[in-house]
Every structure is written in structure tokens, then in C-alpha cells.
């Protein structure tokens, strides 16, 4: 099927578990109130670590959506996934009893998978002096990053395409991109797509500390994530999950679904430059954004808002700002750009989905979320980053960027739905 004849894809349901809210509504309200999700780590004793804070999910009760028995057999990242999925399906108002489940799929990823499960099971092994009889039979099914997609399918009996994606911080953007392509190819009418992550654990914090990637602003965690600020010193680890219910326009219209926005295009590239640093000038990001705009059948001047990758690291913020200027030229000065990671922290494999939700809601409500903690702009970052507070604005089309270790670049394009 040619792209010209491909079905239009729309967003009908949203589910989010984040450091600033455990529902779609609370997440949106958290952004609108410029709330920081960063605080001292409570999941383990981080006293000896260079970074002793993170953006943890707070007051989370998985039994609102899954049974206690299921909780015991799921890593935290899968629990986040299930909660987000249940809320997204409820939000979409879709009844799978009345839907061809063979044409309903799940594409759901995690950048790292069950790190807490590995931590606990390895500790069991060490506590037994290396004797493996205390390793749980659920160890592998809890660990593997594709298992969340499997659990979601089992919950709803969805028998269409089903798998997980892994591309570091671009993971769940690739989940959404794959879902779009599957539906455009005619292989599904409905796909639940997104990602989750739960790596606020000793090896997660310790590993990123070893790379010097995390902020060490331990005296004031709430101001540590400061994208595009001259005094940024690294990202803040976050956790959570997000999922979007995607449908072909025909399927959504036939059941009278509420439509948030249209998922219009994607751009997928790689820097082929360095395992962690972006290419000079954001060259890979430039191609990714250009492809997404072109795939959506739009012009650069049609884009009003960019939800930036905006990690609060020295390399990313500068290169992404340069890339946006390269793509949009003079139009960049009339666009709004913000980093919601300033509030949520960096959710790694879940970032793309959660930020796609933020972008979708920005279009739905016609309000650009803010970049908080931007008090001293970096002279190399010269765009309008919606500093401090959210800003009402006409947003007809928007991009969401995610870039991952390995040089992976994914840009998603959303636009206001017009019947």
C-alpha cells in the first residue's frame, strides 16, 4: 500500500503513570502547575551514591489495576505498563468484546527491562552462597523487556501483532512508530503502543553515575532537571509508563470514539557517530525531524510546537537546539519548544510514550507545557522554551523528539484532528 492510500491513524486513549501524576489527568495537571517530580530516593538507601535523588512514581498502587498475585509475578516496569494500559483502554472506551481481536495488537517497549527483578534474584543467589535453588521460576519471565506487551495482550485477548521494542531512550517512540506502520500496512485496526521503565535502583543509578550522566544537585533535587539552562549538570532519572490507543480513523469513527489528535508522521534515523554523544550539530536529529514533517505531508512552517528530547545534559540540549534551527530556519523563532523532562525527569524507554501523551494533550488543550528550572539560558540555546509556566497557544501540528544511546533518533508528528 502506498503512503498516499494508507489509512489515517488517530489517538483515542491515553494512560500515564509518571513522577508527577499517576493518571492522564494528574499528569496533565502536574505539567500545568510546573511541578517537579524529583526528590530524594526512597526505593533504596542511596547514601553512598553520587546522585541521591530521582523522579520516582509516588503513591502508586498497582492493585488498582492488577491482582495481588499478578503483582508478585511482575517486575515494577510491567506493573507500570499494566496500569497505563488499563487506564488507556478505559479512556478510549473501547470494548474488545465487540472488536475483532485478531486485528488488535500491542507494541510496547522498555529500554532496560526488569532491573529490580535482576537485583533481587541475584541477591537471593549471593545470600545462598551461590547455590541457585532460591532463584525464582518467574525470574526470566519477569526480567525480559518484551513481557509487558505479552501481559497486555493476555489481559485483553489481543491476538494481532505483538512485540517489544528496545532502542534506549527512543524505545517507546519506536513502539509508536512501528504501530503506525503496522496499521498503515493494513495489519491491524487497533494497536496499544508505548513503553515503561523502572530503573531507580542501585545498578541503575550507579551505572549512570559511572558515566557522569546524572545531575548531582543533591542539595536541591527539584531544580536539578534544567534543560537548556547554562548551569545544567546532567539528567534526572525518572520512572513510569505511558501508552496510547491508536486506531485507524475508520475504526474509530465506526464506534463513535472521541479523538484526541491525529498521529500523522514519523522520522527514524541513526547518527552512526558515537555510542552516547549526539552527532555534531544534531545531524541525525535534523534528518529525523525533516522526515517526520515530510511523512505527515506538512511543511516546516506548519509546526507550532516541539516537545524536545531536552535531557538537561550539556551535549544534547545544545545539539538539539541547533538541529531545530537547521530544520526550521527563521520559523524556529515563532515556534514553542519545551522539555517536559524538566518535570518528569528522564523516563528512558518510557520517555517517548509519556512525551507523546504530553504532546497529544498540548494539541488537545491548545496549551504548551513548560520547561521549568530554566533560569539562566545557555547562550547556545536560543529558542523559545516556554520557560517557567505553561502557555496557551494555537498548536495545529507538533513534533516529539526522542534520541537514544547508540545514535537512535525518533521523531513523531501529531496534528489536530480534522474530520
Rounded distance, CA 15 to CA 333, Å? 33
Q: Are strands 261-270 and 190-197 parallel, antiparallel or unpaired?
A: unpaired
Strands (E), 213-292: 240-248, 261-270
Burial class (CB in 10 A: 0-12, 13-18, 19+), 144: middle
Rounded distance, CA 364 to CA 362, Å? 5
Which residues, given as ranges, of the chain have pLDDT below 70?
1-4
Bridge partners (DSSP) of residue 14 are 244
| Cell (9 digits) for 218 | 543533591
What is the structure's pLDDT at 294? 98
The catalytic position among 65, 151, 251, 346 is: 346
Closest CA to 109 of 354, 310, 316: 354
> Given the C-alpha cell 504532546, which residue does it identify?
359
Rounded distance, CA 275 to CA 405, Å? 6
Taking a C-beta distance cutoff of 8 angstroms, is the pair 27, 244 a contact? no
Taking a C-beta distance cutoff of 8 angstroms, is the pair 109, 347 a contact? no
Closest CA to 406 of 168, 146, 166, 111: 168
| DSSP three-state, residue 390 | coil
Bridge partners (DSSP) of residue 192 are 106, 245
Q: How far is CA 416 from the centre of its chain?
A: 20
Rounded alpha-carbon distances, angstroms, from residue 78 to 110, 117, 123, 281, 286: 9, 11, 21, 36, 33
What is the structure's pLDDT at 131? 84
| DSSP three-state, residue 371 | strand
Taking every pair of Cα atoms in the chain, the longest distance, rounded to a whole number of angstroms, is: 65
Q: Look up 169 and say whether it is catalytic.
A: yes
Question: Could you report how far apart the first and last alpha carbons of the chain are, in Å?
Answer: 22
What is the structure's pLDDT at 129? 85
Sign of the alpha-carbon torsion through 300, 263, 171, 179: negative
What is the structure's pLDDT at 271? 94
Q: Look up 346 and say whether it is catalytic.
A: yes
Rounded distance, CA 193 to CA 363, Å? 19
Taking a C-beta distance cutoff of 8 angstroms, is the pair 373, 343 a contact? no
Q: Is the pTM of this model over 0.75?
A: yes
Taking a C-beta distance cutoff of 8 angstroms, is the pair 84, 149 a contact? no
Q: Interior CA angle at 76 toward 209 and 196, to 5°? A: 75
The catalytic position among 104, 151, 169, 408 is: 169
The catalytic position among 309, 364, 381, 413 is: 309
Rounded distance, CA 370 to CA 390, Å? 5
In 307-403, alpha helices (H): 314-328, 341-344, 351-365
> Given the C-alpha cell 511523512, which residue does it identify?
295
Q: Look up 309 and say whether it is catalytic.
A: yes
What is the structure's pLDDT at 4? 65
Residues 6+ apart with CB under 8 A from 197: 77, 80, 110, 111, 112, 238, 239, 240, 241, 347, 348, 349, 350, 351
Amino acid at each position: 500500500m502506498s503512503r498516499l492510500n494508507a489509512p489515517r491513524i488517530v489517538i483515542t486513549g491515553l494512560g500515564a503513570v509518571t513522577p508527577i501524576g499517576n493518571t492522564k489527568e494528574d499528569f496533565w495537571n502536574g505539567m500545568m502547575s510546573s511541578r517537579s517530580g524529583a526528590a530524594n530516593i526512597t526505593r533504596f538507601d542511596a547514601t553512598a551514591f553520587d546522585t541521591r535523588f530521582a523522579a520516582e512514581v509516588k503513591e502508586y498502587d498497582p492493585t488498582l489495576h492488577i491482582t495481588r498475585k499478578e503483582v508478585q509475578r511482575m517486575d515494577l516496569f510491567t506493573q507500570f505498563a499494566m496500569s497505563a494500559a488499563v487506564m488507556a483502554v478505559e479512556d478510549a472506551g473501547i470494548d474488545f468484546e465487540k472488536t475483532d481481536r485478531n486485528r488488535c495488537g500491542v507494541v510496547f517497549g522498555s529500554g532496560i527491562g526488569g532491573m529490580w527483578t535482576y537485583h533481587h534474584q541475584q541477591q537471593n543467589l549471593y545470600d545462598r552462597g551461590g547455590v541457585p535453588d532460591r532463584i525464582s521460576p518467574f525470574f526470566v519471565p519477569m526480567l525480559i523487556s518484551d513481557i509487558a506487551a505479552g501481559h497486555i495482550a493476555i489481559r485483553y485477548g489481543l491476538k494481532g501483532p505483538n512485540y517489544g521494542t528496545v532502542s534506549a531512550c527512543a524505545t517507546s517512540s519506536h513502539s509508536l512508530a512501528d504501530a503506525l506502520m503496522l496499521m498503515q500496512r493494513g495489519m491491524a485496526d487497533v494497536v496499544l503502543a508505548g513503553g515503561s521503565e523502572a530503573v531507580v535502583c542501585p545498578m541503575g543509578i550507579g551505572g549512570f553515575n559511572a558515566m557522569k550522566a546524572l545531575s548531582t544537585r543533591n542539595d536541591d533535587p527539584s531544580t536539578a532537571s534544567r534543560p537548556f539552562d547554562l548551569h545544567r549538570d546532567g539528567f534526572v532519572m525518572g520512572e513510569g509508563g505511558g501508552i496510547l490507543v491508536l486506531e485507524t480513523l475508520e475504526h474509530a469513527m465506526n464506534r463513535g470514539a472521541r479523538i484526541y489528535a491525529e498521529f500523522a508522521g514519523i522520522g527514524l534515523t541513526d547518527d552512526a557517530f558515537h555510542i552516547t554523544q549526539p552527532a555534531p550539530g544534531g545531524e541525525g536529529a535534523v534528518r529525523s525531524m525533516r522526515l517526520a514533517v515530510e511523512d505527515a505531508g506538512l511543511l516546516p512552517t506548519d509546526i507550532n510546537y516541539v516537545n524536545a528530547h531536552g535531557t538537561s545534559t550539556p551535549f544534547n540540549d545544545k545539539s538539539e537546539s541547533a538541529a531545530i534551527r537547521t530544520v526550521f530556519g527563521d520559523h524556529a523563532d515563532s515556534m514553542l519548544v519545551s522539555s517536559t523532562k524538566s518535570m518528569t525527569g528522564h523516563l528512558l524507554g518510557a520517555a517517548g510514550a509519556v512525551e507523546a501523551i504530553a504532546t497529544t494533550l498540548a494539541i488537545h488543550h491548545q496549551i504548551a507545557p513548560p520547561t521549568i528550572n530554566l533560569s539562566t539560558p545557555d547562550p547556545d540555546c536560543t529558542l523559545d522554551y516556554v520557560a517557567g509556566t505553561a502557555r496557551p497557544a494555537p498548536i495545529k501540528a507538533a513534533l516529539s523528539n526522542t534520541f537514544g544511546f547508540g545514535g537512535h533518533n525518533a521523531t513523531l508528528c501529531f496534528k489536530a484532528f480534522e474530520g
